Amino acid sequence: MNGQWRGLDRLSRDPAFVARASAEFPQLAAALAAPRNRRGVLKLMAAGLALAGLGGCDDGAPGGVLIPPVLPPTDTVSAGSHLFATASVGGGYANGILVRHVNGRPIKVEGNPAHPASLGGTSAIGQAEVLGFYDPDRSRGLTRDGEPQAWSSLLTALAAQRQAMGQSHGEGFRILTGSTTSPTLARQIIALKQLYPGVRWHRWEPVSRDAVRAGAILAYGQPVELVPKLDAVDLLLTIDSDLFDGAPGHLRFARDFAARRNPTRTDRMNRAYAIEPTPTLMGVAADHRFIAGPRDLARIIPALAAWLLGGEPSADMPAWFAPLVGDMKATRGRCFVHAGPDQPAGVHALVHAMNEALGGRGQTYDLIAPVEADPVNHGASLRSLIDDMTAGRVTTLVIIDSNPVFTAPGFGDALTRVAVSMTLADGSSETAAKTQWSLPARHGFEDWSDALAYDGTVTLLQPQARPLYDGISPHSLLALFAAPEEVYSRDVVRQTHGLNDQQWHDALAAGLVAGTQAAPTDVALKPIQAPVGGAMAAPAQQDITLLVRPDPHIWDGRYANNAWLQELPRPLTKLTWDNPLLVSPAIAERLKLLNGDRVTVANGATEVTLAAWIMPGQAPECVVALLGFGRTDVGMVGQGVGYDVYPLTAGSGPVLLHKAGGRDVLASTERHDPIFADAGEYVHHGTLAAFKADPAFLGKPASQPQEYNRRPTGPAAWGMSIDLNACIGCNACVVACMAENNIPVVGKQQVIHEREMHWLRIDRYYEGSPEAPDMFFQPVMCQHCERAPCEIVCPVGATVHDEEGLNVMVYNRCVGTRFCSNNCPYKVRRFNYYAFAAEERRPAVARNPEVTVRARGVMEKCTFCLQRIAAARIDADSDNRPVGANEVQTACQAACPTQAFTFGNMAEGGQVVERKKSPLTYALLGDQDTRPRVTYEGRIRNASSGAGA
Amino acid sequence: MTPFDPVALPGSNNPDMTDHVSGIALRANAFGWWRIATVLPAALTSGLIGSILYLFFAGVGIWGIDWPVAWGFAIINYVWWIAIASGGTFISALFFLTRSEWRNSINRIAESMTLFGAACAGIYPILHLGRPWFFYWLFPYPNTMDLWPQFRSPLLWDFFAILTYVTSSVMFWYLGLLPDLATLRDRAPTRGKQVVYGVMALGFRGTSSQWRHYRVLYGVLAAIMAPLVCSVHSIVGLDFAGAATVGWHSTMYPPFFIFGAFLSGFATVLLLIIPMRRLLRLERYITGRHLDVMGRLLLTSSLFVGYAYIMDAFNTYYGGEKAEITMFQEKLFGYYAGIYWATVLFNVLLPQLLWFAAIRLNELVVALVSIGVIVGMWCERFTIVVVSLHRPRLPSAYGLYHATIWDWLTMLGTVGFFVFGILLVVRLIPVISMFEMREILAPRRP
């Protein structure tokens, strides 16, 4: 298992290697010689090194040069960092990422600009994956019935298994996986089925997309994958949509959508309508957000479809209905409708029909063959497995990357009837604890694999480090069921794609196999049939409607042991470390609930008691339960955090809600009375019509020249512009900042105590009534004021201005008076009340070695990623040239899927200077005259003239 | 008692006074009440030491301070104590310069109060630091790093102000003690006491040249101390006013803090002399005159403070800045409103009782009013520090503050330390400045 991956870092310092690399990859040598764009070079180097290093692999013996994760070989050169492509896989779908290595250790996830699913953006979950890789709670060895075992005993057991399967032709052998797009995994399972015809493959993804799949079958008679092309969409109508926070390709959608949101840079600003029962990121970003619970939707969507398809006006519709239809008809061909996975199949079918009728196919979206391998209905697949298990028809069950004991009520009981069960997972889980065998899986950063992007692009996953802990790849495990020979996952993956050396190297360098995106299919829409209308039967009339949604960061519970994600304030509630029931303001009023009050929610026979949280803008009859919390067997971080609401998914029947005794203290990072009449003071906002009348209506005039102007005079002038039109509040920047800057996690108690350490926070404002507020996001970090109030109050000069306009914090000099924090109008400074960094369970090797780890009693704050600036400065100095305008990317900027951040050296012009010239530009709390180097572009709504609020 | 009592009751004379006062300090055994009274302060002082040790071990995270409210009890108590201390200096130095005779009976206790008040205040800025072991970085000492402190910071001015004030208070107190220490030396019944008081008296023998030098030095120090009280309190005010923070950024703060210092200082002196004159049988030397004068001063400073509160409100609404008004509304009606109204009640309304001469002479009521003022002044500091900080300019940074057990232990510990110090003074040194009393009493027994 050792020969997988080479020590590229060391090789890159070897002259013979460099010569070989240059000969093999002339573009690398050319790029190194040419005037440098640092990022470009890093990309090329990553590519080149990956290729050349692997080239070297062929003539080296297994066990050649490997970089151990902790102690590098003595001749390793520690300077510089390298990027290697791989992918972050969510719900089976791949987002391309690059992993930054320093001293041979993966320390930071960056986006892969070449990857179609992200175009260089990343998600919060993707950013946090590096912490999961170093998680000390990961499984460290295999166990059988809870007892540690040697690998040889597994091999023995598998030999017996092979023999038994040979005799029974695989009858009773079942494989359960999550949703997967991996061609290799699918190929292996198909091969296994050919070998043993009785083998069956079940699928279970707790955050189900079954309705999407079923809707496509209703509409087209076969499963198809929808590929929206939001850059071509003028009018977007979303129905309870997850386009920005969960749908496959959501990073790409956010990018394409945001690219047409700032009227100073596009004259074709798109317009978005969102109809949804509970606020989503899409709803916040939309120009018009209409609140409709499931019952209303069941009425409105068919009426909408009927009007668009047949042109019959329907009575009894909300006031916004007619203008919306008018707007849609007016943008025929450039209009796109999207429904979220929580909508029933009938809605999806109607949406397909509407999209066809609106003539957008090929323009605003494509249909391709399904990306998921062997798409099945997960709910049905799991039910049949449970039935078979209960009936004793399952003799062997192999569970790969799935946690059904936690996520599927009833599975645990059925599992006791299975003779041989096996879980392959990279951490402890409820399922691993209940199966006979628990096998440690390799982390995604330790293994070779592949996955498809939302558009079908083949994406390769390559290991980023030698495995930290003993583990096995699913590809190797599946091969062992077929034959006793140990196979390397790299070889299996490579075989799947049949690439020659050159193509393989190129694919690894780019992280994807070029040109593999799926071609659009020409499948035709079936005529709308009566059952579609039947499928739209209105949900039962009841007072309370329960919606079950994944937590935006913990997802279905699989990231519960990731402290960065646990402590990441949820986009709208700003809650950390908890999943209270989100209740609408109407219900809260009726039951006299305050935030944190315990409530009991019953769904049929099952009931769960948990805290409640009032969610402004939620449909009056709705409560939302968030999945993923309440894990009982996950590791020290996630154990027992929050409430397990999976039992509610099994119940059916009337939903009852009543107040239970007691109140929980919830850790939200927004502690103010949430509703404001004048959020516009902080988030400047207005309508497109007002902007067209006077483009400068939001921006503040530049401040008057001052007598005492201490404008920094250095060779560079760092500045940032944040486009509030682009920010969707997804939190990727916050995690990126934590990863880049070694920001400690403080835990729930300390968040309650108001001591969270995030250097970058996303402020959320509500404006209007609690029932239907407007919502705004605003990322706030150190504003690097030219006239910084923090600097003059520090008695020891621990925070000072540098000549390039940075407000720098000298940790070593800080004595901890905290006066700077008091005097900061933006409150962006964070204080180490305890030795938060030292108390973290995160291993020291996981930290960014370029950034000081702060001690107890020291103030800290955003540095504009000073370490990245310093690296660029060194590059520039050695070339005897100024640092280029766009040469430095801050971590938040690089992570942002929508390019809301622009950063650069304003002395050299560049994009940030261009953006700051926008008439929407304003400084936060401009009346304080702090002259911040961070400015914001006010948010413009492309409000429809007829659509009301 | 009447307001028109003389400074010492008729029939008082030097020999009796000296016998009585030095007798208290030279008693072989402490009073029974003294032994009982020291138990609780000694326990609280031990608690103070324990909580400081734990603070250094665990860090300032043990306190209730948080992200928006980064300053808490440490700064509140610091300002509170330094204000109490200042009142003592004001009595002993300013009224010395105005040659007010009534001051002679109470200046020793007022100065002792200054000494221990300043000691309590002085430890807080160091405890307050995140890394207290580097507190000396605030001092402009030559060093190999070639680093100086940052002279624009009000905290640096504060560091110098406190250092100056504590140093000169100690000197002033000790200098004022010298002739009395010499008296004790001369009267000490045991060899041990003779040596100790003799060493402490620094060879003061009462020669005319010693008295001449002594009086000049004492006058100079008094002339320094009187304005120093004002400057130190202005600078404490500038700790807040020098910041651009909501609720702090006001030119009113320096005089406002001086008013507060007088108010709490006078209240504390009253609270000390009322039981003392009874317990130590000093009614003859601390008379209705003293209570009356101190009551009038307390009332006057209360009116000053009341004026400052009114101007605070006026400036906020006249200025019209939204963040300031939001914070002020919160101060009046928000989560901490009770503390603001307690401030107004205790500092402004309650002392209005002192308009009546009968009440000024009622020791119980005056003691209660004094306690009220001391509590009220603490509430005022709480409002300034916590309430201002918990409503910063950006709503996303709004927060709350709740003190922890360690905050309370440290605060009560300094109270205990202060009382313990005063009790030690009562036990070991003359509580009335004998040599100054001799200037106004009859020289011989009648």
DSSP three-state, residue A715: coil
Nearest-CB residue to A795 (from B155, B322, B395): B155
Distance between terminal CA atoms of chain A?
61
Model pTM?
0.89
pLDDT tens-digit profile of B225-258?
Answer: 989 988 999 999 999 999 999 999 989 999 999 9
Q: Give the domain-ending residue among A896, A911, A926.
A: A911
Give whole-number Cα distances, A381 to A179, A201, A394, A400, A535, in Å. Answer: 11, 9, 14, 15, 21
**Model confidence at B344: pLDDT above 70:** yes
Distance from the B328 Cα atom to the nearest Cα atom in chain A, whole angstroms:
16
For chain A, say whether B395 makes contact (Cβ under 8 Å): yes
In the numeric block, the tokens 């929206």 are attached to A228
Torsion of CA A495, A498, A503, A507, to 10 degrees: -50
pLDDT (mean) for A333-350 = 92
CB A307 within 8 A of CB A497: no
Mark whether A800 and A772 lie in a shared domain: yes
Q: B242: which chain A residues are within 8 Å (Cβ-Cβ)?
A: 793
Closest CB to B393: pick one of A813, A825, A856.
A825
The mean pLDDT value for A488-516 works out to: 89
Task: Indicate the pLDDT class of residue A651, thresholds 50, 70 and 90.
Answer: confident
Say yes or no for a CB contact (<8 Å) between A754 and B134: no
Chain A touched by B31 (CB under 8 Å)? no
Search chain B and give the residue with CA nearest A753: B66
DSSP SS3 for A452: strand
> Inter-chain contact B396–A780, Cβ cutoff 8 Å?
yes
> In this prediction, does ipTM exceed 0.90?
yes
Of A112-126, B1-15, B161-175, where does mean pLDDT reach its minimum?
A: B1-15
Q: Which site among A665, A669, A827, A834 would you substitute to test the B interface, given the most B Cβ atoms closer than 10 Å to its Cβ?
A: A827
| Measured CA distances, A683 to A210, A502, A702, A926, A936 (Å) | 39, 51, 18, 12, 9
Which chain B residues are within 8 Å of A755, Cβ to Cβ?
61, 66-67
| Residue A426 within any structural domain of the chain | yes
Distance (Å, rounded) from C-alpha A250 to C-alpha A122?
10
Nearest CA in chain B to A836: B61
Q: Is A696 part of a structural domain of the chain?
A: no
**CB atoms A681 and B148 under 8 Å:** no
Q: CA separation (Å) from A430 to A101, A406, A407, A831?
A: 33, 6, 9, 37
Number of structural domains chain A divides into: 5
- Tell me whether residue A420 is in a domain: yes
Residue A238, in any domain of the structure: yes
Residue A681 belongs to a domain: no
- Please tell me whether residues A769 and A869 are part of one structural domain: yes
Alpha-carbon Rg for chain A, nearest whole angstrom, is 28
Best A822, A856, A924, A931 member to test B by mutation, with max B CBs in 10 Å, is A822
- CB-nearest partner of A672 from B59, B154, B398: B398
pLDDT digits (tens, 9 = 90+) for A235-282: 999 999 989 988 999 999 999 999 999 999 988 899 999 999 999 999
Size of interface A-B (CB pairs under 8 A): 144
* Mean pLDDT comparison of A457-466, A500-509, B334-343, highest-scoring range: B334-343
- CA of B246 vs chain A CAs: smallest distance (Å): 9
Report strand pairing: A225-228 vs A147-148: unpaired
Domain boundary among A337, A368, A399: A368
Residues A756, A900, single domain; the answer is: yes
Domain ends where: A668, A686, A703?
A: A668
Residue B68 at interface with chain A, using a CB cutoff of 8 Å: yes
| Adjacent-strand bridge partners of A102 | A81, A105
The answer to whether residue B217 neighbours chain A at the CB level (below 8 Å) is no
Domain identity same for A334 and A402: no
Contact A795 B159 (CB under 8 A): yes
Spatial separation of the C-alpha atoms in residues A112 and A120, rounded to whole Å? 4
Please tell me the distance from the alpha carbon of residue A297 to that of residue A211, in angstroms, as a whole number.
Answer: 15
> Which of helix, strand or coil describes residue A73?
coil
CA distance B336 to chain A (A): 15
Contact at CB, B138 and A780, closer than 8 angstroms? no
Domains of chain B as residue ranges with CATH: 14-437 (1.20.1630.10)
Closest chain A C-alpha to B279 CA, distance in angstroms: 43
Predicted confidence band of residue A798 (pLDDT cuts 50, 70, 90): very high
What DSSP string describes A117-174?
Answer: TTTT---HHHHHHHHHHT-TTB--S-EETTEE--HHHHHHHHHHHHHHHHHHTTTTEE
Do B150 and B157 touch, CB atoms closer than 8 A? no
Query: Pick from B134, B155, B400: which is nearest to A671 by CB?
Result: B400
| A670–chain B nearest CA distance, Å | 6
pLDDT band at A79 (very low <50, low <70, confident <90, very high): low
Rounded to a whole number of angstroms, the distance between the first and last alpha carbons of chain B is: 23
> How far is the alpha carbon of A745 from chain B, nearest alpha carbon, in Å?
15
Q: Summarize pLDDT for A23-35 with one digit per residue, the tens.
A: 555 555 444 444 4
Closest residue of chain A to B156, computed from CA coordinates: A795
Residues A160 and A263 placed together within one structural domain of the fold: no
Same domain, A871 and A722: yes
- For residue A907, give the nearest of A872, A874, A882 by alpha carbon: A882
Q: How confident is the model at residue A709 (pLDDT cuts 50, 70, 90)?
A: low
Q: Decide if B137 touches A, using CB distance below 8 A.
A: yes
SS3 at position A762: strand
pLDDT at residue number A710:
67
Do A32 and A121 sit in the same domain of this protein?
yes
Domain span at A409:
143-208+374-441
> In this structure, what CATH number is given to the domain that contains residue A170?
3.40.50.740
Q: Are residue A198 and residue A242 in the same domain, yes or no?
A: no
Question: What does the pLDDT read at residue A67?
Answer: 41
Torsion of CA A321, A323, A324, A326, to 10 degrees: 120
Cβ(B333)–Cβ(B325) below 8 Å: no
> Are residues A20 and A120 part of one domain?
yes
CB spacing of A856 vs B130 below 8 angstroms: yes
pLDDT above 80 (res A76): no
**Cβ burial B248-285 (10 Å sphere, 16+ → b, else e):** bbbeebbbbbbbbbbbbbbbbbbbbbbebbeebebebb
DSSP for B133-180? Answer: GGGGGGS----TT-----TT-HHHHHHHHHHHHHHHHHHHHHHHHHHH
Same domain, A736 and A833: yes
Q: Does residue A306 share a domain with residue A246?
A: yes
> Which residues of chain B neighbour A856 with C-beta distances below 8 Å?
59, 61, 130-131
User: pLDDT digit string (tens) for B68-121?
Assistant: 999 999 999 999 999 999 888 888 888 888 888 888 889 899 999 999 999 999
How is A816-877 classified by DSSP, letter by letter? ---HHHHH-TT---EE-SS-HHHH--S-GGGS-TTSPPPPTT-EE---SSHHHHHHHHHHHH
Residue A695 counted as domain residue: no
| Cα–Cα distance, B8 to B439 (Å, whole number) | 12
What residues in A contact B153, CB-CB < 8 Å?
Answer: 792-795, 819
Are residues A118 and A29 located together in one domain of the fold? Answer: yes
Residue A281 within any structural domain of the chain: yes
Contact check, Cβ <8 Å, B131/A765: no
pLDDT of amino acid A36: 42
The SS3 of residue B122 is helix
Q: Which helix (H) or strand (E) holds A780?
A: strand A774-780
CA distance A100 to A698: 39
Domain membership flag for residue A738 = yes
CA distance A174 to A746: 43
Over residues A98-152, the pLDDT tens digits come to 999 887 789 999 999 999 998 999 999 999 999 999 998 887 788 999 899 888 8
CATH number at residue A645: 2.40.40.20
CATH number at A255 reads 3.40.228.10
- What is the overall mean pLDDT for chain A? 86
Whether B154 has its CB under 8 Å from any CB of chain A: the answer is yes
The distance of A688 to chain B (nearest Cα, Å) reads 26
Among candidates B130, B150, B242 on the partner chain, residue whose Cβ is nearest the Cβ of A858? B130
All residues of chain B having their beta carbon less than 8 Å from the beta carbon of residue A816 are: 60, 129-131
In the predicted model, is pLDDT for residue A14 greater than 60? no
